[in-house]
Amino acid sequence: MNYTPNQDPNRPSRQNTGYSNPNARPQGGGPRPNLPPNMTPQQKAEYLRRLEAQRRAEQQRRGNEQRPKYRKRKGAKPNVGLIFFAAVICVVVGISVHQISKNSADPVETDSLLQTLQDVERGETTNTPAEQEQTPPPFETEGENTVPAVEFSSVSVNSADINQGDLILVNYEHPYSLADTVDTVEVYSNKTASYYLSTTNHRLTERALNAMNRYADGFAADTGLSEILVVSAYRSMADQQSVWDSKVQSNGEEYAKNYVAVPGHSEHHTGMALDLSFYRPSDGASVPISEHEQGFWMTEHCAEYGFILRYPESKVDITKISYEPWHFRFVGKPHAAVIMRKGLCLEEYIAQIKNYTPDTKLLHALEDGTTAEVTASELPTEGYVIYYVPSAETEATEIPVPSGYENYIISGNNWDGFIVTVYVGKESQ
């Protein structure tokens, strides 16, 4: 169908309006629309639909123009001062509440807290409580201190006595100057029946002899054998020179250096060293410890009697003496137990003891060789405490000893100071 420009159904106009009912008025009143002629019913319906949509859009536009306009309100700027004040209040309250709950035994007074809040509000405080420096509280204790503070008294010893005692170190670096003046006793007339002597001339210090008697008696009790043989004990300078010369003549000087100490550097000068073997009564033969069926007992139990294996196989680079399974040295308890338990040689032990002094820490040792570190104000109630005191350059050296402990031994180390061994057990030694 052809339309004139005024008849185009997509172009609304005053003349191109109409509905399916030509006589009907638009909704809401108004003149009747004039429908173009020659329109099909479908065209008329589409035309009226578009006309109605246009009318509604026009009414909406007019309504918006008549509605009162409001100016868009700008966002309010935050009040920085108010926010800071609120934050400070929160911090003060939070810290105060935390302190009250934490220290219930010493609660914060309400008046004091209120005063703090008022000061903050008036701006009279320069720092919040969290910023103020606080002194840490003292440690809390319950009941009385179970370890009373230990006081030390001073014992004066001759500085020259650095060369005397159970723990003197004699080796290639530290000669023994008192070799010919050592106070020894005869072994033959003071021994028990549980061991033999290679000669009746053997001598030892009294403490070493008493320990040897217990050592041999212990072996006999455990094994049922009384076969220990003392081959060598104390040697004077002349004795050591004779042994040295003999070894050099038979095996050469290099061999002698590995097994025999140079005169003046031998442990046998101390009267506390023993060369042991076994005597077999059936044929009168001497059997080395390493070849005897019970030889292992000697090393496993020597510390119980105050002896150590002086030259272990693993310490040759330190001792400069080859492995000697027959050479035992008396050092006393509990030192022997610690040395054997920890696999040390005497050189290592003497050096380590120098780390323990009354001003720093003490070594606590039990008879089984277990150790711990304690302070001078916390002495235990069993075992021993051990520490080092350097020798003074003056004639006398003042040795601090815990007051009330009378069972102690002071030994020089033949080096640079003294080693103090205090028995702190309840039973007397």
Residues labelled catalytic? 324
Inter-residue contact 7 to 36 (CB < 8 Å)? yes
Residues 135, 330: Cα–Cα separation, whole Å:
55
How far are the Cα atoms of 22, 158, 245, 335 from residue 314, in angstroms, in the given order? 127, 36, 28, 19
Inter-residue contact 267 to 347 (CB < 8 Å)? no
Residues 165, 173: Cα–Cα separation, whole Å:
18
Choose among 390, 414, 417: nearest CA to 272. Answer: 414
Residues 17, 2: Cα–Cα separation, whole Å:
18
- Cβ neighbours of 22 (radius 10 Å): 11
Place of tokens 């039990």: 366
Amino acid at 399: I
3-state secondary structure 142-199: CCCCCCCCCCEEEEEEEHHHHHCCCCCCCCCCCCCCCHHHCCCEECCCCCCCCEEECC
